[in-house]
Chain A
Amino acid sequence: DAGVIQSPRHEVTEMGQEVTLRCKPISGHDYLFWYRQTMMRGLELLIYFNNNVPIDDSGMPEDRFSAKMPNASFSTLKIQPSEPRDSAVYFCASSPGTSGRVTDTQYFGPGTRLTVL
């Protein structure tokens, strides 16, 4: 399996523009997670899905952020409008959810480094 695939790997945009990050989870995984990594706050969970349904979006910083999972093989994280403080590395992770603890079977993608000028 190719693992979790994220695109683009790097994104540079100007303040006010819309940004869309994409994720393809590992086939057969029931859980999908979006994280953001910053120096100050480390890895923060933004939102996660189970069987394409959003379960917890309490980590989404504000209404400018939205995430969708239209099918089991694709998810997007959108920021509209983007701001310089959104600059970070965004990770997608997936999990099969078959073990007793979902948390120790999360597989992360390589991340998207977002820079908002």
Chain B
Amino acid sequence: DQQVKQNSPSLSVQEGRISILNCDYTNSMFDYFLWYKKYPAEGPTFLISISSIKDKNEDGRFTVFLNKSAKHLSLHIVPSQPGDSAVYFCAASVAYNTDKLIFGTGTRLQVFP
């Protein structure tokens, strides 16, 4: 009953190219979505977020797209850099309980030269 799903456990991309990480969700009550980035032996750190009233949010090289009808969001990293190699977690919350985050299982991104 995983409400937030990241179906690709890993992704390998060449430096300079685009990385696309995908996330699907099942709960139609989710109204806020986030991406966290995690390096080995460190805790996750907040990367970017998007409200359900938007379909795109951009921050530098990072853009998150939201498709509510498909219950799908994606994180685009352009251009990818070796320092982007990390595990990326998708997360979601509902308006009536904004304290609580539901995370996916994560996607390990490797950016090679």
Tell which of A35, A39, A104 touches B34, judged by Cβ atoms closer than 8 Å. A104
Asked if B44 and A48 sit within 8 Å, CB to CB, the answer is no
- Interface check B81, CB cutoff 8 A: no
Closest to B45 in A: A108
- Interface check B100, CB cutoff 8 A: yes
- Interface check A45, CB cutoff 8 A: yes
- Interface check A117, CB cutoff 8 A: no
- Interface check A101, CB cutoff 8 A: yes
Pairs A–B under 8 Å by Cβ, sample size 7: A39-B105, A42-B106, A43-B103, A43-B106, A45-B102, A91-B43, A102-B98
Asked if A104 and B49 sit within 8 Å, CB to CB, the answer is yes
- Check A103/B101 contact, CB under 8 A, given A110-B42, A111-B43: yes
Asked if A42 and B45 sit within 8 Å, CB to CB, the answer is no
- Check A42/B89 contact, CB under 8 A, given A102-B99, A105-B46: yes
8 Å CB contacts to A: which residues of B71-113? Answer: 89, 91, 93, 97-106
Closest to A95 in B: B99
Closest to A58 in B: B100
Q: Within the complex, what minimum Cβ distance (angstroms) separates B5 from chain A?
A: 9
Bound complex: CA of A100 vs CA of B31, how far in Å?
Answer: 13
Asked if B105 and A42 sit within 8 Å, CB to CB, the answer is yes
Interface size on A, residues (CB 8 A): 28
Q: Encode A75-117 as 1/0 by CB contact (under 8 A) with B.
A: 0000000000000000101000000111111111111000000
Bound complex: CA of A31 vs CA of B6, how far in Å?
Answer: 27
- Interface check A50, CB cutoff 8 A: yes
Closest to B106 in A: A42
- Interface check B2, CB cutoff 8 A: yes
Q: Nearest 10 A-B pairs (CB), nearest first?
A: A108-B43, A42-B105, A43-B103, A103-B93, A102-B99, A104-B49, A42-B103, A108-B44, A103-B101, A101-B98
Asked if A56 and B100 sit within 8 Å, CB to CB, the answer is yes
